[in-house]
Amino acid sequence: MTSLIVCFPKPIAGFSPGLGVDTWNLRSLSQVPYSSGDGFRFPRRLARGTRILKCSGSHSSSHSWNVPVLSNNEVVEKLKLAREGREFLAMYSSVVGGITTDPAAMVIPLDDHMVHRGHGVFDTAMIINGYLYELDHHLDRIIRSASMAKIPLRFDRETIRRILIQTVSVSGCRDGSLRYWLSAGPGDFNLSPSQCLEPALYAIVIQKDFTINSTGVKVVTSSIPIKPSVFATVKSVNYLPNALSQMEAEAKGAYAGIWVDNDGFIAEGPNMNVAFVVNGGKELVMPRFDNVLSGCTAKRTLTLAEQLVSKGMLKSVKVMDVTVQDGKKADEMMLLGSGVLIRPVIQWDEQFIGDGKEGPIAKALLDLLLEDMRSGPPSVRVLVPY
C-alpha cells in the first residue's frame, strides 16, 4: 500500500538522520512522539518548503491511498451534502450556547462522553399542530434518567423547558418530533467523566408527517438478552440490545421483537410497551413498569382507557405481571409508544392473537389517543409560540 505523509523541512523527532524517506511507513510514524516544538505534527496550513511524499507501506499495491486534508469550508460543504434531504430544522447545543438552523452545524463533539462511552440519556416529544405533546412528562422522565445515570444538570428544569420550546419555535415546525439529550459532556476519551468540563444539553427538531397505521402486525420473541432492570428503566443512549432485537425481528419478517424477563414475564418491545385485552375482551392489562421503561404513551393510554370503562367497553384496567402463555392467549395485543402510537398485534411467533384480526379495544384506544393529541388538556399539550 502506498501512503502519503507530511515531511517537514526541519528534522522530525524520533527519526534517525540516515533514514531514507522511501522506507518510512505508517508503523514508523506511530512511534514518533508528539512535540510542541519541531516534532511531528500537522499544522492547519503547510509551512513553506513542506513536501508531500509517497512512502512505501508494508503491504504494497498498485493503488494509491490518499486521505485529503480539508479546509473548514470544505468540511462544511461536505456536511451539507451529507444532510441533503433530511428534515433537520433546528438544533440547540449548550456547547456552543445557542440554536442553529444550518444542518451542517448540527454536530456533537467526538470527545463527548455520550459519543464514545454512551454516557447520556435522551427523550422525545411529538410536535402536533404546533403543540408539544406530553412535554412535561417526557421532561420529568429524562431528568429522572439523568439522575440515575449520575449526570448533573447543566440547567434547572424550567430553563431546559424554555430552551426546548424555543428550539421548536425557531424551527417553525408544526408537525414533527423534538429529541433531546443530557450528556456527561465533552472532555477526554477516558472511561470516567471526571475530566469532562461540564454536562451538555442537545436538542434537535425533525420534520415528520405522522402516518397513522392501525394495520395489525406480527411480532416474535426476542432472543437478544434483555437489559438489566437497573438500565432498562433509564432511557439511555445505550440502545445496542434494542437495535439488535429490532434487526432480528426484521430478519424474521416481523415488525418487532418482544422481550421476556428472567422470571418468564413479558417485558417490552425494543422501543415500545405492550398491552393485552383478556377475559373475553373486557380487561386491559399491561406489564408492570418495575423492570421496563416507563412509557409516557403507555401511561397516558392507561388513563384514557378509563373512558372505555365508563362506556362499558371494558370492565377494568390493570398493571400486572403477564406470562408469555397468557399473552399469546389474549383476545387482543397491542404495541404502545410515541413512534407507533397504538399498533395492533395479530400474530406472535407462530400463534395468532385472538381471531387474527385487529380488535375493537385497540382501535378505540387509538381514537382516544389521537383526540387527546389534537385537543387534550393543557397538562399534556404545550403551545409553541411561533
Contact 222, 245 (CB under 8 A): yes
Q: How far is CA 240 from CA 84, 91, 194, 243, in A?
A: 27, 25, 25, 5
3-state helix, strand, coil in the chain (%, to 5): 30, 25, 45
What DSSP assignment string belongs to 27-62? HHHHTSPP-SSSSS---SSPPTT-EEEEEE-SS--S
Q: Which amino acid is at 67?
A: V
Determine how many CB atoms are found less than 10 A away from the CB of residue 50: 12
Q: Which helix (H) or strand (E) holds 143?
A: helix 135-148
The rounded distance, in Å, linking the Cα atoms of 231 and 219 is 23
The rounded distance, in Å, linking the Cα atoms of 49 and 314 is 83
Q: Which of 218, 227, 235, 328 is catalytic?
A: 235
Q: How far is CA 134 from CA 3, 150, 169, 300, in A?
A: 54, 24, 17, 9
Task: Tell me which residue has cell 503547510.
Answer: 46
β-partners of residue 266 are 260
Closest CA to 377 of 277, 281, 287, 303: 303
Record the cell numbers describing residue 163, joined without a space: 430552551
What DSSP assignment string belongs to 307-373? HHHHTTS-SEEEE---BHHHHHT-SEEEEEETTTEEEEEEEETTEESTTSS--HHHHHHHHHHHHHH
235 is catalytic: yes
Enzyme catalytic residues: 235
